[in-house]
Structure 1
Amino acid sequence: MMNKKEIRVYVREQFSMLASEEREKRGREIHGELFGQSFWKQARIVAVTVDTYQEIPTRPIIEKAWREGKTIVVPKVDRERHQLDFYTLTSFLHLENGNHGLQEPMPSKCEQIAKENIDFVIVPGLAFNRAGYRIGFGGGYYDRFLENYQGKTAALAFSFQLFPSLPIETHDLPVHHLVTEQA
């Protein structure tokens, strides 16, 4: 079995070889799967990151949520406290360049939302197994956030991000649902 570093390198290579048109096409397939799920339909406040090139496109998810009257919250990394704070996002114009190359909410234009008010979290990651365990980007921020989170969780993954087994540590928590272009 590959170690976490090798898995991260492999998945990043796969993303770099994926043409943007193919990424968008396969992303739409995953979005269709997600939007058909009961946990999506029932959620009122949805947490999601604004994607980088190494993730499933999330802007269409955010736009669909807005059209459906859902509240979207996006994370801002608090490096001093080593945690994520989530803020409402009502416009892509309220984003700024943040930590780790992420687009993060501007606290001056967005309202902070408490963890217990979030119904559903789309958890980012680089690699996943069918049991819902994941390898993230290496900061441990989502692992800490999910420790006592009570709502529903899901991860979105292209087929090349799925592995039969992953190195799992005692603090790792699986997501409830894994959504891929292969259903």
Structure 2
Amino acid sequence: MCKKSDIRMSIKDLKKNITAEERTRFSEQIRCRIEQLPEFKQAKTILLYHSLPDEVDTSSFLRLWKEDKRLLLPAVKGDNLIIRNYHPEKLKTGRYGIIESQGDRITDLSVIDMIIIPGVAFDKKRNRLGRGKGYYDRLLSQVETCKIGICYDCQITDFLPVEKHDIPMDYIITESGII
């Protein structure tokens, strides 16, 4: 069985081969696939994330969806993620260099219709491997909504080590398909 740390290193190396042009194109393909889902069309409130440079670029998601959807972003507070309304004019760089919203805090997580989640790797059973701090694991244990992991094809593996607290995704979307 592969160790999580080995998988993280391997995927990091694979992502280095993605050019800036491919990253833009792949991210747009992923956004278009999300927009075709019935769950997306029905969703009024979506929690997504402001991407880091090595992740699927969500800047167009935020720009295009803010007119028709209520968008939320996570912010790191202690060992947990808190959820805030997305306002493009109320952003700041938080812990780990992640851009976070300074909008109003959301305490009723039942308003979230869909969560779009980054990951270091995903497997074909829709399991997710994060960066290792457990922020999303703790958040996902508190919500029951459509969970979509997004990543590049090179981040899909046949198998990931899974622990009892890990919550699988409902969908994983890459530039070439939906799992």
Count of matched residue pairs: 176
TM-score (norm 1): 0.92
What's 1:102 paired with? Answer: 98
CA distance in 1, matches of 2:14, 2:64: 27
Q: How does 1:8-157 map to 2 (within 5 A)?
A: 8-67=8-67, 69-79=68-78, 82-91=79-88, 93-106=89-102, 110-113=103-106, 114-157=108-151
Write the distance in 1 (CA, Å) between the matches of 2:136 and 2:43: 19
Distance 2:82 2:8 in 1: 25
CA deviation after TM superposition for structure 1 residue 90, in Å: 2.4
Moved over 6 A (4+): none
TM-score relative to the length of structure 2: 0.94
State the SS of the aligned residue for 2:157.
coil
SS in 2 for 1:17: coil
Runs of at least 5 residues in structure 2 that lack an aligned partner in the other structure: none
Corresponding letter in the other structure for 1:135? L
Distance 1:163 1:116 in 2: 31
Report % sequence identity: 27
Residues in 2 aligned to 1:89 and 1:58: alpha-carbon distance in whole angstroms: 13
Partners of 2:175 and 2:22 in 1: CA distance: 12
For the aligned residues, what is the CA RMSD?
A: 1.1
Within a 5 Å distance, the mapping from 1:161-180 to structure 2 comes to: 161-180=155-174
